[in-house]
Amino acid sequence: MNRPAHRRAPRRLAGLVALTALAASGLAGITGSAQAQPVELIENGTFDAGTAPWWWTGNVPSAVTDGRLCAQVPGATANPWDAIIGQNDLPLQNGESYEFSFDASASVPVGVLAKVQQQTEPWPERLSRPVILGPESQHFSFAFTSGVDSDIEQVAFQIGGSAQPWTLCLDNVSLTGGAPPPVYVPDTGPRVRVNQVGYLSQGPKNATVVTAATDPLSWSLADQGGRVVASGLSTPRGVDTASNQNVHTIDFSGVTAPGTAYTLTADGETSYPFAIGDVYQALRSDALEFFAIQRSGIAIDGALHGEQYARPAGHVGVAPNTGDTDVPCQPGVCDYRLDVRGGWYDAGDHGKYVVNGGIATYQLLNTYERTLTAPTAVPGALADGTLRVPERGNEVPDVLDEARWELEFLLRMQVPAGQPLAGMAHHKVHDNAWTGLPLAPEDDPMLRELHPANTAATLNLAATAAQCGRLFLPYDRAFATRCLAAARTAYAAAKAHPDILADPNDGNGGGAYSDGDVSDEFYWAAAELYLTTGESAFLADLRSSPHHTGDVFAATGFNWPATAALGRLDLATVPNGLPAAERAAIRRSVTEGADAYLATLSGQAYGLPMPGGRNNYFWGSNSNIINNAIVLATAFDLTGERRYRDGAVQAMDYIFGRNALNHSYVTGWGTKAPRNQHSRMFGAQLDPNSPHPPDGSIAGGANANLEDPFANELLDGCAPQFCYVDDIQSYSTNEVAINWNSALAWIASFLADQADGAPVAPGSCTVGYRTHAQWPGAFVSEVRVTNTARTALDGWTVSWSYPTGQRIRLALGADARQEGPTVSARNQPWNRRVEPGRSVVFALIGAAPLSTNPSPELFRLNGKVCG
């Protein structure tokens, strides 16, 4: 995921049983296209002549039984390549097409990998296909075109990775030249492309039609019963750059009636069905549940998440695991060991990375913080008991519980006091070599290693721990204090070592996650520390950064190596002590960034805020598209202008199927959704005993760079939006990742809050909040509530949330109660009635545990937002 060094190379073949070699003489110069009959390259593929020249690894005793080669495959192997049957010395010609076929069965349902590859390290693949076998013999056939001239190729059946022993039988193995060149044509379904999940009743509703027509087309919208409820003409848009398709767009935003199974028809094609209404409520919990299932160091509860996802705790020092309770550094990096249990597995592997964990943790914390600051956020939507996390019922918002699981890991990655680079953060921890798929975390036998500390990782720790320092104060003061202390230490260490960068070549067993510019991380960390502490040193640092006034909203969005926008968004939304003019300029920069994304969106026929060029569709592009939608959503939160809300909502149409492939990118959401995302934990495509990814996990998405062998072979020459395939082998287009799901979780929460569709209109009230006196640890404030309605107010409750852990000790003129950061102040009998144009005033005496005491900015009167 955003790491080109990510390669799955087979292991060295060990313990081969030497048999005979296939003689290649006489085959040179043969090209399939010139032969009347296909040329067979496999010798003795029917096993009529015994076992020669087939070989197998020493742990797979094999013999011919009933005319088939049958192998006793051992259990308790970790990787597919831990047990192999193959044949070597096969010649391939560049540009020639081949057909690889065989019959196979297994004594129990199991998955294997059938490969054609070079027989020497690093074993580059020409073909790799997963197959699921069972007791009945099945015939399999695959075509591929060779991209090399080589006479050292092999067919290999990688059959390891099963917990239990089993028997494989093979017959009629064939590799022939002269096959028709394979042509991959994705199933794109109907040419009318819609958001397959649906549309908000009071939201934009747009579709795209792929057509040869250049004139407007008639369209009709039918409800579940087939009754036409709307019709009109499409808008021709010409050839779309990102898909190379001639397309039209359709706008049916005028339809607001809730319903299921709507269909849109145009140019003789009818779309997949979709709903209109409150379509996103469950997405919030689905997207966040991904993190609970992705946890390391804890048993996954099948009763909570589904029995298919139940598993023992991974990497807690129980054999065959070698970590993560006592992990050494890579050789030469350090001479100590750390307990780095916990956290989330980063993506499809078992690695845990501070920089990617940083942005994912930020987005979960910010998803919660938005509920305290955004007018349309539903208070309590992420409260205790709302999500499927094991800590539910502890009186802490569930999303904070989930974020804490990663925060605890990030804190453990800090270099201990007294050591060289004390206070810095180690970059990552993962296996010392790549493992195969699938592989449950508790079955991973590889040595785990800490990788060198660097500045980017340290600043990710500083930023997220600073967020923790304010958001956990109302729930666990000791933990918040620990977080803030770690953030200060990390920030000071980063300033002392400002240019220690991750090694871009450190990619064996895990992604490199290198970043050549950490100025943005310095800005983000300074911003979070300032928001939490209000201290002038952090304010000076963020003001001196070129990112404070520069354009941080790139056309392709923010991401783990580009984090300046995170600081900017928080400075705009989280109450703080910046002067009004400076705060206004920050907020204006957010709306200007959002305006640019709206302009991009309007120019894209598929309605997404991402330019259409090839260089804009890269590893993890879906998360960048969503991050641009987050900027649009934040602009709406700041201004209440509906165009920003509509832009954020419409951007998600692309994610849920309004795209060139007519494919939703989120499991369980849409008619045609992913099932085979790249993951060691969710490997049903390779092993019937492994589950599919859980609902609510997002695939990386279209990647025009095609950075894995499978996609490169299958999709060569694809238009950008076609550069995706739902196959577990395509890690550069179809992997899962925590920073992609954190973006989905943030926008899912926003979308769920927009169910009624109407931007929040200011209520008939204004609230003034003024701090009259403060001293270390305490303050006295006044709240003035003015009734701006034309009728008297008979009974009132005013609510707000404190941003930095302030607590009310006493209220004068109101009955106040506080839950977490949120205060509710209710009238007393003598001031219950407030006449039009009149005000009621009450006073507060409170505690401010941090060195800053910013005033709250969002107030609700009887549940309605005040102006």
Can 735 be counted among the known catalytic residues? Answer: yes
Pull the structure tokens for residue 43. 């010798």
- Helices 738-753 and 621-639: crossing angle in degrees, nearest 10, is 30
- DSSP of 40-83: E--SSTT-TT-STT-EEBTT--EEEETTEEEEEE-SS--SGGGS
Residue in 462, 325, 468, 322 with CA at minimum distance from that of residue 405: 468
Number of DSSP helices (H) and strands (E) in the chain, helices first: 15, 39
726 is catalytic: yes
Cα 607-612-615 angle, rounded to 5 deg: 140
d(CA 93, CA 97): 9
- Least Cα distance to 515 among 448, 459, 450 occurs for 459
Element (H, E) at 672: none
Question: Which one of 346, 506, 520, 735 is the catalytic residue?
Answer: 735
Q: Write the DSSP assignment of 210-223 as a string of letters.
A: E-S--S--EEEEE-
Q: End-to-end CA distance of the chain, in Å?
A: 44
Catalytic member of 240, 406, 726, 727:
726
Residue of 349, 401, 443, 637 with catalytic role:
349
The active-site residue, picked from 678, 707, 708, 727, is 678
Full DSSP string of 172-193: EEEEEESPPPP--------SEE
d(CA 375, CA 761): 9
Contacts 24+ apart (CB under 8 A), 787-792: 787/834, 787/835, 787/836, 787/837, 787/838, 787/839, 788/764, 788/836, 788/837, 788/867, 789/764, 789/765, 789/836, 790/764, 790/836, 791/836, 792/833, 792/834, 792/835, 792/836
The answer to whether 347 touches 1, Cβ cutoff 8 Å, is: yes
708 is catalytic: no
Tell me which amino acid residue 384 is: D
Q: Directed axis angle between helix 580-603 and helix 642-655, to 10°?
A: 50
Catalytic machinery residues: 349, 678, 726, 735
